[in-house]
Amino acid sequence: DAGVTQSPTHLIKTRGQQVTLRCSPKSGHDTVSWYQQALGQGPQFIFQYYEEEERQRGNFPDRFSGHQFPNYSSELNVNALLLGDSALYLCASSPGLAPYEQYFGPGTRLTVT
């Protein structure tokens, strides 16, 4: 049983560019949450998707957007990249909206130069 998978593993972008990160949830999970983990910090909640809709959003600007597909996989898009967007982006999946069954993927390391 595959766990949560994320792609790509690493990527480097230039300021002002746009990036798309992808996540496939654990089998049987229908809810995907995205977190940003800056260096030396704990993960911070970006948003959560369930039934292809954004259900909750953290304190992130509109440059951060997402999407969930019918197969429950999800994308995180970041527009107009800033140096401060450099971080590890973690995807977590869960069965339904409850917070206590979140399984995390290995993350995508984004570097903005």
Partner 1 sequence: AQSVTQPDIHITVSEGASLELRCNYSYGATPYLFWYVQSPGQGLQLLLKYFSGDTLVQGIKGFEAEFKRSQSSFNLRKPSVHWSDAAEYFCAVAPFNSGNTPLVFGKGTRLSVIA
Report if residue 103 touches partner 1, rule: CB under 8 A. yes
Nearest residue (CB) to partner 1, 15 versus 101: 101
Burial string for 15-54 (b: 16+ CB within 10 Å, else e) reads eeeebebebbbbeebbbbbbbbeeeeeebeebbbbbeeee
Number of Cβ within 10 Å of residue 3's Cβ equals: 14
- Of 90, 93, 110, 112, the one binding partner 1 (CB under 8 A) is 90
Q: Per CB under 8 A, which of residues 26..55 are in contact with partner 1?
A: 33, 35, 40-45, 48, 50, 55
Nearest residue (CB) to partner 1, 15 versus 64: 64
Nearest residue (CB) to partner 1, 82 versus 97: 97
Q: What is the DSSP string of 11-22?
A: EEE-TT--EEEE
Contact flags string 50-79 toward partner 1, x per CB under 8 A:
x----xx-x---------------------
Task: Tokens for 62, please give them.
Answer: 């509109």
Report if residue 2 touches partner 1, rule: CB under 8 A. no
- What DSSP character marks residue 84? G
User: Using CA atoms, how far apart are residues 89 and 83, in angstroms rounded to an integer?
Assistant: 14
Size of the site for partner 1 (CB under 8 A): 26
